[in-house]
Structure 1
Amino acid sequence: MTKFTSFSYFLLFTFCLVTFQNAHSQNDFLVGDALPDAPELTARGSYGVGVQTLNLVNKDQLDVLSITEGKGTNYDRPITVEIWYPATIPDGVKEIEIYTQVLGRNGAEGRPVTPFTFKGRALRDAKIISNQGKFPLVILSHGYVGSRFLFTYLAENLASKGYVVVSIDHTDSTYKDAAHFTSTLANRSLDQLFVLSEIERLSAASNDSFLANLVDTSRTGLVGYSMGGYGGLNTCGAGYSDGALDFFKSMTGGSDALDSRGMSNESYKSSADPDKITAFVALAPWGMANGVWDAEGLAGLKTPTLFVAGSEDDISGYEKGIKAIYEGSLNSDRYLLTYVNARHNVAPNPPVEATMMEGLHIDEYLRYADSVWDMRRINNINQHFITAFLGIHLKGMDYQEYLNVEPDANTGNWKGFKPRTSIGMELLHAAPKSE
């Protein structure tokens, strides 16, 4: 076994730093780029990345915000999605996109909605690669509040590795249109299922969409953060508890709008679509500490799942929250990656200059930052493990060795990590109960 000396570590650091500087000498360091200590599978893939926006409409849906005394009206629910895909980048054209995001929160006193921009590594409306068959689908679902641009670092990275990535703007749940929490509770899983259905329709050979013949929806991964994880668990078979349904009724004057997603509802199992979603990544999923699931509900999750959490999560909870979901999902082949001492923000892009303005409300910074961990480091590690997990389940790639590591990162070097950099994390694994 090679013994590293202090001089060896110095040479290794120098090599990494020079490589990093050379790689980014012509461009700014952008959201999602690999730090010198990034693990192996963080690196971008071989494909160029294109990006387009689609405005979808889910017709004749219950307008949860219209509910009074338990009853509401229907409307055509708008859903905007951003789509990243493998693309051909013309010679001499920079693979750069400027995203427009906002700070603040609609309706929150003292937190006005303020636009800001940041750069990513994608090209707007780039030509689709059309001669390599269909690509697996990955759906991204943000938290409350959030946006479809909350984790561009992951979307661009996965698209460069041969995935079509669709990120949802959940109506009533973004910075721009944040509304009463009941809309998010009722619509999150429904939005995910609708988007999956729409992408399947648009990718049919007979469709004139740019997605025609591009997407293989039989190989779909779902990535949900916070409320996106809440909805994703339900989408993948974990029906809500009777207590959660009663809580929703108490908030809406008796509405049964959430009943169709309850584990005790016979129609729920047929409306969930866990067979098409072959892999699920739940980043800090909300709800367990609030009684959203019971043992029966969690037993309904059979989709292979990678949970990601901060051990000090004060929004979703850890021991009685995310870890309890992991432990209770007895019928899923599952992993739990824990960032020790991190809080809730284990998914977003890192803070950019706009989030550091003097006098800005602290919550705007903390939407994108952790008080212990460097978010760029978390982003890189997420890229690494999600690449491994989705690669196994959506592409049949031989990445298992990256997940078969000692639980405690401090006890040795994890596969794919540079020497001395696998520290401060834990990775647990549990096989399905039937095995």
Structure 2
Amino acid sequence: MLSVKIPAFLLLLFLALFYSGGFSEAYCQNETFRFGDPLPDAPELAHPGSFQVGMQTLDLVHKKQPDIQNFEEGRKPEYDRKLSLAIWYPALQEAGGQPVQYTDYFGSPNDEKRPLTPFNFPGRAVADADPLHEEGPFPLVIVSHGYLGSRYLMTYLTENLASKGYVVVAIHHTESTHENPGKFASTLYHRALDQLFVLEEMDRLGNRDTGSFLSGMVDAEHTALVGYSMGGYGVLNAAGAGYAPGFVSAFAQMTSGSQKLAERSMSDTSYQSTVDPRVKAIVAIAPWGMARGAWDAPGLQNLKIPTLFIAGDQDDISGYENGVKAIFDGAINTERYMLTYLNARHNVAPNPPLSPDLNKDDYMHYAEPVWDERKINNINQHFLTAFLNLHLKGMAEQSRFLDLPQNSLDETWEGFLPRTSIGLEWRQEKPGI
């Protein structure tokens, strides 16, 4: 065995850095690291596309919406609901363009255990870059975070998809973020409506005569909704999975007898008309709600838009057998796929934690106990690219990445390096099955 003698001062320096967190701080400040960078074993479609990515923010106002969190007996106020968006898009190559610096938050106000704490991290998109109008319009992808969450929760995915020729819009859901944690009832009611409102606004702003930077960039007729956790809950409802009567009743108990959620249920005759034909595909990542009675058989059977589910089989927030898998099994009238991370819990969507020195509760808000989050990010990039290319761009050849055996050990999955698809399961069903 080779023996190497380490000088005492170097050993002390190593130990000091290790126990003080010096290495993790240097890691966080490494200007070459970006969320979503492909690891050496990343599957084929995880790699970025050919487009330079621009990024801009935009504020919208959804007028005269129910102010759910201030409902009380005999008082059902309305308000103008503000929504902030982050938008990524194919952009012109510009010399000297500066990569964006994102600001996000841990914790929440007045939480002694996890106080509201800002942090910054670098992206690959160029802030305010000029859009690539001559190659547009591009299919639209609307991304919806969890509770509590952020429009920057999945930049590994939003930047990646924009580099492949999509306009990607991530919603900062009012009363559902770290800096603005409202009552849960607000998220239950507004989530699907926020997504559909943003679709309407992106279609409007994408018209060629609006003067917006999005003018001529947005092909809203080919839209996908992507949601994580409460975002997935909203995506399913926006796409046709009407809420169950018992869930509507539970909401009424939370909101002093309000029946507003009934508008999003199968019992409302106008609900079906809200399923927007511009939505051609949805992705529900660890969608919350099934284990809490959000859907029954008629609601799930009303889902008819092609759907990709992503879940961990040990999900202790949304549930798996009685949660995500039960939704997959019940949605018998749509083309559907399900990617399962074996031994993963709920956090199969976010950017990875920034540092092992975080407050443990902040760390576990994003981390997976078993899986390397960077590997999850790469796998998600791969499968969403194939699924969206197929259903939004009509690239039939992408189906080869989706026509897979259930067990990843039966044979190496298409697009994966040998031995690297371990720990995954895949299911796919056609309508009527």
Give me the TM-score of the superposition, normalised by structure 1: 0.91
CA drift of 1:276 comes to: 1.0
2:44 aligned residue (20, 35, 40): 40
Match of 1:384 in 2: 382
Alignment of 1:285 with 2:268, yes or no, is: no
Match of 1:8 in 2: none
What SS class does the counterpart of residue 239 from structure 1 fall into?
Answer: coil
CA drift of 1:27 comes to: 5.5
Q: Kindly indicate whether the alpha-carbon contact (under 8 Å) linking 2:229 and 2:287 is maintained by their aligned counterparts in 1.
A: yes
Q: Point out the more displaced range, 310-319 or 197-206.
A: 197-206
Q: Deviations over 1:122-171 (max 9, x none)?
A: 00000110111300000000001100000000000000000000000000
Q: Kindly indicate whether the alpha-carbon contact (under 8 Å) linking 1:51 and 1:125 is maintained by their aligned counterparts in 2.
A: yes
2:70 aligned residue (50, 55, 66): 66
Instruction: Quote the Cα distance in structure 1 between the aligned partners of 2:290 and 2:250.
Output: 14
Residue type of the alignment partner of 1:300: N
Match of 2:206 in 1: 203
Alignment of 1:187 with 2:190, yes or no, is: yes
Gaps of 5+ in 1: 1-25
Q: 1:70 to 1:152 in 2, by over 3 A?
A: farther
What SS class does the counterpart of residue 409 from structure 2 fall into?
Answer: helix
1:250 aligned residue (242, 249, 253): 253
Instruction: Quote the Cα distance in structure 1 between the aligned partners of 2:96 and 2:183.
Output: 47
Instruction: Quote the Cα distance in structure 1 between the aligned partners of 2:278 and 2:412.
Output: 35
1:85 aligned residue (85, 89, 95): 89
Q: Point out the more displaced range, 110-119 or 160-169.
A: 110-119
Match of 1:411 in 2: 410
Alignment of 1:75 with 2:75, yes or no, is: no
Match of 1:352 in 2: 354
Q: How does 1:270-419 map to 2 (within 5 A)?
A: 270-273=273-276, 275-353=277-355, 356-357=356-357, 360=359, 362-397=360-395, 398-419=397-418
Instruction: Quote the Cα distance in structure 2 between the aligned partners of 1:293 and 1:209.
Output: 39
Alignment of 1:222 with 2:225, yes or no, is: yes
Residue type of the alignment partner of 1:402: F
Match of 2:17 in 1: none
Match of 2:103 in 1: 100
Q: Kindly indicate whether the alpha-carbon contact (under 8 Å) linking 2:97 and 2:129 is maintained by their aligned counterparts in 1.
A: no
Residue type of the alignment partner of 1:423: I
What SS class does the counterpart of residue 170 from structure 2 fall into?
Answer: strand
What SS class does the counterpart of residue 386 from structure 1 fall into?
Answer: helix
CA drift of 1:277 comes to: 0.6
Residue type of the alignment partner of 2:402: L
What SS class does the counterpart of residue 135 from structure 2 fall into?
Answer: coil
1:241 aligned residue (240, 244, 253): 244
Instruction: Quote the Cα distance in structure 2 between the aligned partners of 1:80 and 1:391.
Output: 27
CA drift of 1:92 comes to: 4.3
Match of 1:19 in 2: none
Q: 1:37 to 1:78 in 2, by over 3 A?
A: same
Q: Deviations over 1:222-264 (max 9, x none)?
A: 1000000001000000000001100000111101111110111
Give me the TM-score of the superposition, normalised by structure 2: 0.91
Q: Kindly indicate whether the alpha-carbon contact (under 8 Å) linking 2:223 and 2:279 is maintained by their aligned counterparts in 1.
A: yes
Residue type of the alignment partner of 1:38: A
Instruction: Quote the Cα distance in structure 1 between the aligned partners of 2:83 and 2:371.
Output: 33
Instruction: Quote the Cα distance in structure 2 between the aligned partners of 1:240 and 1:396.
Output: 31
Q: How does 1:102-141 map to 2 (within 5 A)?
A: 102-141=105-144
What SS class does the counterpart of residue 123 from structure 1 fall into?
Answer: strand
Match of 2:422 in 1: 423
What SS class does the counterpart of residue 410 from structure 1 fall into?
Answer: coil
CA drift of 1:90 comes to: 1.4
Residue type of the alignment partner of 1:239: G
Match of 2:151 in 1: 148
Instruction: Quote the Cα distance in structure 2 between the aligned partners of 1:272 and 1:422.
Output: 36
CA drift of 1:382 comes to: 0.1
Instruction: Quote the Cα distance in structure 2 between the aligned partners of 1:99 and 1:367.
Output: 19
Residue type of the alignment partner of 1:199: M
CA drift of 1:70 comes to: 5.8
Q: Kindly indicate whether the alpha-carbon contact (under 8 Å) linking 1:70 and 1:249 is maintained by their aligned counterparts in 2.
A: no
Instruction: Quote the Cα distance in structure 1 between the aligned partners of 2:241 and 2:344.
Output: 26
Instruction: Quote the Cα distance in structure 1 between the aligned partners of 2:230 and 2:218.
Output: 26
What SS class does the counterpart of residue 72 from structure 1 fall into?
Answer: coil
CA drift of 1:40 comes to: 0.2
What SS class does the counterpart of residue 411 from structure 1 fall into?
Answer: coil
Percent identical residues: 55
What SS class does the counterpart of residue 122 from structure 1 fall into?
Answer: strand
Match of 2:177 in 1: 174
CA drift of 1:370 comes to: 0.1
Q: Kindly indicate whether the alpha-carbon contact (under 8 Å) linking 1:388 and 1:400 is maintained by their aligned counterparts in 2.
A: yes
CA drift of 1:357 comes to: 3.1
CA drift of 1:351 comes to: 0.8
Residue type of the alignment partner of 2:67: D
How many residues align? The count is: 403
Q: Point out the more displaced range, 252-261 or 380-389.
A: 252-261
CA drift of 1:107 comes to: 4.1
Instruction: Quote the Cα distance in structure 2 between the aligned partners of 1:262 and 1:108.
Output: 35
Instruction: Quote the Cα distance in structure 2 between the aligned partners of 1:293 and 1:131.
Output: 44
Instruction: Quote the Cα distance in structure 1 between the aligned partners of 2:132 and 2:281.
Output: 24
